[in-house]
Structure 1
């Protein structure tokens, strides 16, 4: 099985259920702005006021069941192969760094704009970018056979972002570039040497600690969040 992919899927579902329980079942389809802000969405003005934890929590929060359904379906398609290929430590590090990069790209591009950012798509595009780059540079018939698979997902994702309004293409691009860069790096290292695996596991644990601390910070800050 794929423990990291499974846990990420579960965390997103639990977060959606938490929004429904805390703010009402109507938030299943279109969460209220207050619910999104209090549950960790990335809102640039609040980030620049010190809510730095939002750069991680936003990726586990979705704007309704259709949003989460599409993203989790995509994760279930692209995640297992990559996790099996590069290992859970590298996979979770990749996912987290792509998630952060997607949010950071939004902050750099939009500044302090009053735009709510939520969802795992920045991280997903990081996985897709990684898959394309890794499959291209790694070599081997089995891995290169996956290159077109990731390429198709990239085309679908970017076209979807151009056609459907309110899709965050900036976060997609930020995650994709980070994933592609990491794909080139990982493709050129031995995957199963202990001396290389241990540093990745250390990074993965640091990413996990940062994620858990961000949610703890959110829980402490949630009741004191002032809505702009």
Structure 2
């Protein structure tokens, strides 16, 4: 039974939240309209990845017939002949609307967006995938200090909760530069060999790897390699947005 102190604290927290909402009302990350962190009209207007048009291998939004992202020429530029993962899916195309959501979530600290993003990601998981746990690409130490939280971990934890699967925190935090400022080739150099699994960590056999944005694939490629070295048999990747 709650004590008088608990009741007072509950009322105080509710009053503080109401005051904050009055002074600084919640606004949509896309259109800035007051109300929700992602309003229904904007949610409907997002550029969703069409499974029937997407590449069945790397998930590129329009690669079902001939993919420009995972063909032999493109893979050769990254020093590979095959994709390291078993499949990739993304919820939306990374356009200006998706970029606003990601920036508001990561750089402005609107953590409530993790729920909306995770729900869309969960719906993008193909029925044939059968992971028994989730992992996430951790933010670098500098990014975590700057933002005050690990955006990848929070997103993965929310997806894991919605899929009712355990979350495996298996990676050593990488020391990499912010990928957003780098060219395509520099992204590959920045992530090459930078991902390691924590010593003694148990890596699930079938794992779903979570990240927020798929740009060149450099981060997910290297993270998948690390999971494979640690014993993962199958690795699928899932992101909120996909650059095209």
TM range (shorter): under 0.3
Structure with the larger strand share: 2
Question: Which structure ranks higher in relative contact order (CA pairs < 8 Å, sequence separation ≥ 6)?
Answer: 1
Scaled by the length of structure 1, the TM-score of the pair is: 0.25
Scaled by the length of structure 2, the TM-score of the pair is: 0.24
Structure with the larger helix share: 1
